[in-house]
Each structure stands twice: as C-alpha cells, then as structure tokens.
Amino acid sequence: MNLDSGVARGEPGEASLNILAGPRYTRDAPWRRSERQATRAPSNGARNNCRGSGRDLRKHYVYYLLLFLASGGIAYVSAFATSRVWKIGIALLALGVGIWSSVFLIGVTTVPWYEDFRSAYYPAGVALSGDGELYVEPCIEGFVNVPIVAYLFAPFASLSQQQASEVFFWSGVTAIVATLALMIAILELSFPRSIALLLLFSVNGPLLYSLREGNLSHWLLPALFFGVVLMRRGGNEVALGVILGLLSALKLFFGLFLGYLLLRSRWRSLLAAAATLGALGLVSLAVFGIDLHLEWYSKCLAPYAGLPVSAYNVQSLDGVVLRMLGADPFDWAPTPVEGVTRLLITLLKLSLLGGLLFALRASARRSGSASSGAAPREVSLVLMCALFLFPLAWTHYYCLLLVPMAFFLAESSSRETSRIEYLGFGAAALLASAPLVSLTYLEGLQRIFVYNVLYSETFLGALGLFGLLVWRQLSAGPSTEPASGSSPTSIVED
C-alpha cells in the first residue's frame, strides 16, 4: 500500500510508504524530533514500554482490558448494594482498584515524566525574566500558546525544575480529585453511577497521560464541566462566555464552541467569549509586542496549517487517516497531502460536521426554538467534533471526554437507557480510555494492526461515543436531567 496519490515526496516529514518497513525520516528536514528519533536508541522509558513484541502487547493492553472489565463489574455489582455496610465495602474496593489501575496505567504510559512541563511550561515561566527564548523550532517541542499565557507559569520560575514539576503534578492530582467530587455532587449521581464515574477516571489513559506528561489538558476539566453546567441550567451567560473564551485561548479547538453559541443565538455568551479573547489578545500585544506574536504564528501555527501529523499520539481525523493509509506513526513533522488523500480527509470532515449540524437541528425542532437551552448532549457532540477536526489533537486532549461520560451517566438516570446503549457506551469508553503505549519492535501482521489500527483506538472510541450521542439526540427530546433533590434510578432499574 502506498500514498502515491496523497502524500507529496521530498518534503519535510515525508511519510513512510511501506507499512512493514521501519520509520523513515527526511534527514535534511528541520524537524529535530524526527531526526533524534531516527538516530538515537529509545530512551529508558521507551525501552521499558516496548521490549519487542506480542508479549508487551499482552502486558499492556490485556492488563488494561482486565482492569477495565473489573471496574465495570464493580460498578454493576454496586447497583445491588442496599445496606450501608455493603456500600462502604464496595466503595473501598472501587477506591483500591481505582488507585491500582491509575498507578499501573500511568506507569506503562510511554512518555517521560513531566515532559511537557519541563520542555514548554517551565521554560516559558523562566523566559519571562529574560532567560531563554519563549518559542523554539519545531514549536511542538516547546511552548505553543499565545505569549500572554506564559504568565500562568511565572510563579514556577522561582523553584527548581524538579520542585516545580512535582508541585504541578500533585496540584494536578488534587484538581482531578476535586473535579470528580464536584461532578458527583452537582450531577447528583446515584451510588452505582458515582462508582462508575470514579472508575472511569481511574482507568482513563489520556487523563493519566496528561498528568504524567505535565500538560494542561486535565486542568481544563473543571472549567469545561462548569461551562456545560451553566449551559444546562441556563445560568450566567457572561460567565459562560468568559469560560469558553479562556478555554479557547488555552486550547484553540475550543474555538468551535463560538460557532455553536452563534448557532444557538446565545448572544451574551458569544460577546463575552469574543471580548475575553479580544482583551487577552490586546494585553498580550501590549506586553510582548507584535514581533513575538508574528514569531508565534510563524513557528506554531503556519507550519501546521493544512498539514496533518501522522504521529501515533495525534488522534485527529487527519492523523488517523494517514496512519491507516500506511504513514509513519513515529513522525512528528507536518506531512503534505494532496490528491485522493486530501479529498478523503475533506469528505470525512464534512460528514462529521454534517452529522453534528443534523443532530443540533433535530434537537432545535423538537424544542420548538433554535435558541432553547443547550443540552449536555449537544455540548458533548461539539466537543468531540472539535477534537476530530483539530489537526493536532493530542491523545491527552481526549481526557476531556470524561465530561460527556459524566453527563451520559447523569442522563441515563432520568431517561430509559437500554442494555445495548450501556454496552455501546462501555465499548466506546474502553477504546477512548486506552493508555498511550509506544510499541516499536513489531513485525508482520501484528505491526500492521498496531500501527494502522490500534494506534487510533482513542479516536475510534470517541467516534463510537459520538455516534451513540447522535443516535440519542435523534431518537429522543432534549435531555431531562433529574431535578434537584430527585432520586436517580439505578443501573439495574434502567
């Protein structure tokens, strides 16, 4: 199989056209990560996670499957617990299994500890004092946000790199635990659904990937959750807009939510989001000047405009299509595409957008007004569509799917949910929550399966959840979460 009709040759980040051959890189390309990957032996972390073969495939993925099934079994059994003693016992069991799962999965995740924090966020805070440059080339190896965001990390500059990394890590753990507790309390989840959500957090590979790598993705969970709560309850429109504006400044794919606000005629939220982004942009220009922003654009945005990346930890539609067509899953350079490949990617993107708009229109028709309150299902669909379409949707971005998963559990307590839907949800969660594991020493059919299919499991799981929510959106009216103080039914009763 080759990409003769789709991938241009002789360009930076040339794709490996033979899916049975090893990674191939362009030596004269300016993308240092690809060159280093090609010329050096795997790091200690990589060696520990990819020692050659099917044994590692069983060790990592089969163990993950067993942990996920055990978690599902505990959540199912918890629905039968009636006495307080049994509930306490099941809660302690779930907590123990959850801690064990998190420790195991964060240990097998193929990424150096605190890599993003040490290579991007900590240097950004230090650079504000004039020590070092804010942006490097290629930009994905360093700080990628608009310059003003660097001030978030200025307080860490007074600490050593190791101290700052540990503070960022443990404060991230605290934020995750607090988010889980808030979700259970605000959504008024029943005991079995609370156990299910706890275990979904503990086996979520993208969440543990973000935590281990020291990225910001898991920090965005509480903000996204509160934004969806405001949409559901029709709360403060200005606060909602500010939250979405801040999220868009930190992760660009949240910009699709501005289009959603426009479609739903939530003008106050839209204006608040635009004002937040405009204010941040003006302050950033005033503090850093135009030259640094042009550098940010030329290093961090322009190289990836319309050029997908085929690396295995990129879970965008573009990257998945390239890998399934045989591109190199260990190439982090932008890959020029044209012809049939470009047409295929464009048609798939239009199909996803069409499905999203069709589901939103169907919901508006049933409610009788396009400006009616947004249901969590709609927000979940917009979020997943944004991740699919964003060219550099890293695997850790998909930890944000814990918000749609939490609202699915909440909604299932007030709407009849079939066993098929629960099984579909479980299968989608299983794939979307898989750990990030780099398996490089593979041969034959196993290599084809891993490189072309298994490395896209997070995307495929999210796509399954997207399809499930679209079906629920088309087959029922707007979501009707239980009113405050109501008693959600159990999974068994559903």
Confidence of residue 10 (pLDDT cuts 50, 70, 90): very low
| Least confident among 8-12, 125-129, 202-206, 306-310 | 8-12
| Least confident among 34-48, 126-140, 204-218 | 34-48
Q: Who has greater pLDDT, 489 or 243?
A: 243
**How many CB atoms are located within 10 Å of the residue 163 CB?**
11
pLDDT reported for residue 40: 34
Confidence of residue 479 (pLDDT cuts 50, 70, 90): very low
325: helix, strand or coil:
coil
User: What whole-number distance in Å separates Cα of residue 314 and Cα of residue 310?
Assistant: 7
Q: Tokens for 6, please give them.
A: 């789709």
| Least confident among 5-14, 182-191, 203-212 | 5-14
pLDDT reported for residue 335: 86
Contact 330, 406 (CB under 8 A): no
Q: By C-alpha distance, which of 263, 258, 262 is closest to 227?
A: 258
- pLDDT at residue 438 is higher than 70: yes
490: helix, strand or coil:
coil
pLDDT reported for residue 202: 95
pLDDT reported for residue 37: 39
User: What whole-number distance in Å separates Cα of residue 404 and Cα of residue 466?
Assistant: 10
Contact 264, 370 (CB under 8 A): yes
Q: How many degrees, rounded to 5, is the angle at CA 142 between CA 273 and CA 176?
A: 60
Average pLDDT, the chain: 81
Q: Can you say whether the dihedral through the CA atoms of 27, 32, 34, 40 is positive or negative?
A: positive
**How many CB atoms are located within 10 Å of the residue 22 CB?**
12
Instruction: Please tell me what DSSP assigns to residue 58.
Output: I
Q: State how far the alpha carbon of 165 is from the alpha carbons of 127, 170, 354, in Å.
A: 16, 9, 42
Report pLDDT digits (tens) over 186-196: 999 999 999 99
Angle between the N-to-C axes of helices 339-367 and 317-324, in degrees from 0 to 180, rounded to the nearest 10? 140
- pLDDT at residue 466 is higher than 60: yes
Return the residue matching tokens 């909440």.
Answer: 410
Report pLDDT digits (tens) over 351-406: 999 989 988 887 666 654 433 334 788 899 999 999 999 988 999 999 999 999 99
What percentage of the chain carries pLDDT values higher than 70? 81
pLDDT reported for residue 63: 86
Rounded mean pLDDT, 44-67: 59
Instruction: Please tell me what DSSP assigns to residue 145.
Output: S
Instruction: Please tell me what DSSP assigns to residue 7.
Output: B
- For the chain, which residues make up each domain, given as ranges? 32-475
55 φ/ψ sector (left φ>0, alpha ψ -120 to 50, else beta): alpha
pLDDT reported for residue 58: 62
337: helix, strand or coil:
strand
pLDDT reported for residue 441: 66
What percentage of the chain carries pLDDT values higher than 90? 50
102 φ/ψ sector (left φ>0, alpha ψ -120 to 50, else beta): alpha
Rounded mean pLDDT, 59-66: 84
Q: Taking the mean position of all CA atoms in its chain, how far away is CA 93?
A: 28
Q: Tokens for 385, please give them.
A: 């569509």
Rounded mean pLDDT, 143-166: 92
Rounded mean pLDDT, 167-193: 94
Instruction: Please tell me what DSSP assigns to residue 297.
Output: I
**If you write DSSP's letter for every residue of 403-418 in order, what string do you get?**
HHHHHHHHHHTTS---
314: helix, strand or coil:
strand
- pLDDT at residue 486 is higher than 50: no
Beta bridge partners, 394, equal 314
Confidence of residue 57 (pLDDT cuts 50, 70, 90): low
pLDDT reported for residue 411: 87
